[in-house]
Chains A and B, each alone.
Chain A
Amino acid sequence: GQSLEQPSEVTAVEGAIVQINCTYQTSGFYGLSWYQQHDGGAPTFLSYNALDGLEETGRFSSFLSRSDSYGYLLLQELQMKDSASYFCAVRDRDTGRRALTFGSGTRLQVQP
């Protein structure tokens, strides 16, 4: 089975940098994904790390350390529209199942 842990809430101000951590326990591992979800909206794919290191996509970066079973999502130059829930997610390599298992989500509130 798989389990992922994230902080439940994070608050930051506009223009700041925030890091959302995710630790996971899984016997088989394809990589770590991140999704953004605004209230009442659909999850939207942000990034995917298959290998250790940092992946950068504009203001968002994602990091993975497989030896530490740890990853994070880094959001820079925060904007009010970044207020949303952020989920880390994995796939089960042991079963080969294509479905995602999500963490419980981190609610980010960006303040003016």
Chain B
Amino acid sequence: AAGVIQSPRHLIKEKRETATLKCYPIPRHDTVYWYQQGPGQDPQFLISFYEKMQSDKGSIPDRFSAQQFSDYHSELNMSSLELGDSALYFCASSPRDSSTYNEQFFGPGTRLTVL
């Protein structure tokens, strides 16, 4: 079965650089979410898209932006990187016919290290 795909899996950047993370949701899933997980912490919601439109915002810094494209893939753009941005970034998707959206399918994550 197809899963959520994220790239790159690992990324190392210097402070003040920019980074772009990509996510390819499961086909026919209409909602995409981005979560950030620091070491030893729970995943924190950043932003989500429903049918290519931004639907909700969480604790996403102004330095970050995201979009979803016509093929449903999504990109998280991060600028002016700070040491505190070092974390695992997960993309998740949920199916079109979900009655609750409580079951979300997570990708393997991108581990971002800011030096």
Contacts and interface: CB of A to CB of B under 8 A. Distances in A.
Interface of A: 30-31, 33, 41-45, 48, 50, 87, 89, 91, 95, 97-105
Contact of A98 (B41, B43, B94, B107): B94
Interface of B: 31, 33, 35, 41-45, 48, 50, 55-56, 58, 90, 92, 94, 100-109
Nearest to B40: A105
Contacts of B48: 97-99
Given A42-B106, A42-B107, A102-B43, 13 more contacts: A30-B100, A31-B100, A33-B103, A41-B109, A43-B43, A45-B103, A50-B100, A97-B48, A98-B33, A98-B48, A99-B35, A99-B48, A103-B42
A105 to B, nearest CB: 5
Given A43-B43, A105-B42, A100 B104 contact: yes
23 contacts: A30-B102, A31-B100, A41-B109, A42-B90, A42-B107, A42-B108, A43-B90, A43-B92, A44-B106, A45-B104, A48-B102, A48-B103, A91-B101, A91-B102, A98-B48, A98-B101, A99-B33, A99-B35, A99-B45, A100-B45, A100-B102, A101-B45, A105-B42
Nearest to A95: B56
Contacts of A105: 41-42
